Structure formats: C-alpha cells, structure tokens
Structure 1
Amino acid sequence: MPDDLTLRRAVADDVPALTALIRAAYAKYDGRGITLPPVSEGLDEVVAETPVILAMNRHQPLGAIVLRDAPDALQIENLAVHPDASGQGIATRLLTEAETIARAHGIDKLCLATHRDLTETISLYRHLGWTVTEATGLRIMMQKPLLRS
C-alpha cells in the first residue's frame, strides 16, 4: 500500500476524478464480454446522497468505495481501484474502513452484489471472510458478518 495513502469522504468536486477512476477500474472487463451496469453514471447524486470513501495518494484517488444502508447491513454498492494501483492493498483498506463505519453505526454485517464472471473479485472477497448467500443468473450476493470489537 502506498505510504502516503489517506482516506476521506468524496465531495462534489471529486466527481470528475471519481468517474475517471471507476471507468479505468472497470475497463478491463470491456473486452471480456462481461456486461456490467453503468457504475460510473450518476455519481453526482451518489456523492451527494451516500458515503463515498476515497483512497487518496496525495491529490489523486487510487480507489473508492460506495456505501449504502441496507436492511440490517451496510451495503457495498461499488468498490473500484485504479488498475495502476492494483495489488497494493487498497481494496482491502477500503473494505476495512467500511467495516469500521458499519461498527460505528451499530451494524454487524456487510453485504454486496457482484457479477458471476468477476472471479478475481469474488476470490478477494472470499479471502477476506465473505460468503456467497445467493447466486441467481449473473448476480452473486455476498455478506460478511462483523465481529464486535
């Protein structure tokens, strides 16, 4: 992980850089025939409505996580890491921050939905203690119970 990595909540001025980050992170799937929802659209509203945490290296976002309240859980709506920063522990750091936020709000579970063909992503989540709770078509639902600290 970069030594000077900091986490902070995104603000409206971050939307252009956040959009570019998410597009770059998902570009690797374009040539693999994987159809994903338009995750880089509507980010103005997303940043205004829900926590978006940025992993910053100086003034450049290297990763982002979008959080939403869900029944009895904190939902990871999107997790993106710039391909140039892949393998540096940024996704793990952002997921750890999501756990911290959930616990601070008395929430004891994280959940997310991912695509069946994003096998590297599913492997990462499993490695970090997530389990598949449902698999329907292309959609894989996963959750991670949080231990009380």
Structure 2
Amino acid sequence: MATSPTSTSTPSEPKMQTATVEDIATIKAMVNAAYSVYVERMGKPPAPMSEDWAQTLQTHNVLVLRDNNQIVGSITFHVDHESNSLKIDNVVVHPDMQGHGYGRFLIKHVETEAQKHGLPSVTLFTNAKMIENIGMYRRMGFAETGMRVEDGFERVYFCKRL
C-alpha cells in the first residue's frame, strides 16, 4: 500500500533510483494527488493522470526520488533524437513535499544525464493552464520555444541549453 510522505519529513540525502513495477502504484497516487488540482482549471484530467505507467516503464527512463525511504518525486525522460535533447516527459513531486527543492533536484539530475550523453539541451512541455509550472521553468533557466495543441491539450514547450 502506498503511503503519503508527511510534511514533517526533511530532505536528508535524497536518492534517485530506477522505478520498478512495484513503484507504479505510488507513482500513480503521487501523480493523481499532484495533478488533481488542475482538473477543474483544464476541464479534464492532465495527461499524466491517464498514463499507462507499466508501458512507460518499458519505453522511457522513469526514476523515483526517495527521501527518508519514501518516494517524494518522480521524473520520466527519454532521448529525443529529433531535437537532439533529453526530453522530460513528466516531473512530479508529492504535494505534501513540494517547496523542499525536490523538483529542482529531479530536473538537475536530468540535466546532468543529458551532459553525460553529450546532449546540448533539456526540453519539456507543460500545459498552458499550469501557470505555476511555467513560472518555475522560467526561473530554472528554461526558455519558451513554442505553444501548440496536441492530443487536446494546449502545451507550452521549453528548452534549456546546457
């Protein structure tokens, strides 16, 4: 059974680990908790809420961030040959653990991975109605590269040169 992190947890030595099938329930619960606030604003569930996580584990890099032996966040990414970048498909931090730097930790980890693979940038997108995310990505050095509607979602695309 998945447990929610408590807000009394403090960052100790967070550890990145490859997600396993056993982590799927926790990832799904975390995604649902984090993204449910956007359902009303968007008029439908955000794409990660309907993700087939078992399939994603087979086709993408899915990492979990553990702190105090609890999963506090997750990041999904893959090499995007078209843009010659490491593309972040999803980054999520449990709502109870937001504001502790875990999101920044997850993204910095992927930036390091991109550099190890000789890739010049990290790319991602977010929904145009997730204005908090847009501001956060800009503060982290990502530049907006475009906006388009895909799969019925209005998406804002970003790139960070490394």
Q: Tell me if TM exceeds 0.5.
A: yes
Q: Deviation string for 1:4-49 (max 9, x for gaps)?
A: 4221111111111111111111011123345322444310111122
User: Partners in 2 of 1:132 and 1:34 — Cα distance?
Assistant: 24
Q: 1:38 to 1:6 in 2, by over 3 A?
A: closer
1:112 is paired with a residue whose SS is strand
Pairs within 5 Å for 1:64-79: 64-70=74-80, 71=82, 72-79=84-91
User: What amino acid sits opposite 1:24 in the alignment?
Assistant: A
Match of 2:62 in 1: 52
Specify which of 9, 17, 26 is matched with residue 18 of structure 2.
9
* Moved segments of 4+, more than 6 Å: none
The unaligned stretches of length 5 or more in structure 2 are 1-9
User: Partners in 2 of 1:34 and 1:119 — Cα distance?
Assistant: 15
TM-score by length of 1: 0.90
How far the C-alpha of 1:59 sits from its partner, in A, is 3.1
Pairs within 5 Å for 1:37-116: 37-70=47-80, 71=82, 72-116=84-128
The unaligned stretches of length 5 or more in structure 1 are none
Match of 2:161 in 1: 145
Q: Does 1:32 align with 2:41?
A: yes
TM-score by length of 2: 0.84
Match of 2:3 in 1: none
User: Partners in 2 of 1:135 and 1:49 — Cα distance?
Assistant: 25
User: Partners in 1 of 2:87 and 2:139 — Cα distance?
Assistant: 18
After alignment, is 26-35 or 78-87 more displaced?
Answer: 26-35
How far the C-alpha of 1:57 sits from its partner, in A, is 1.8
RMSD: 1.5
Match of 2:5 in 1: none
Counting aligned pairs with the same residue, the percent is 29
Please tell me whether the aligned partners of residues 12 and 68 of structure 2 are also in contact (alpha carbons under 8 angstroms). no
User: Partners in 2 of 1:144 and 1:94 — Cα distance?
Assistant: 15
Q: How many residues align?
A: 146
User: What amino acid sits opposite 2:20 in the alignment?
Assistant: V
User: What amino acid sits opposite 1:75 in the alignment?
Assistant: K
Please tell me whether the aligned partners of residues 11 and 48 of structure 1 are also in contact (alpha carbons under 8 angstroms). no
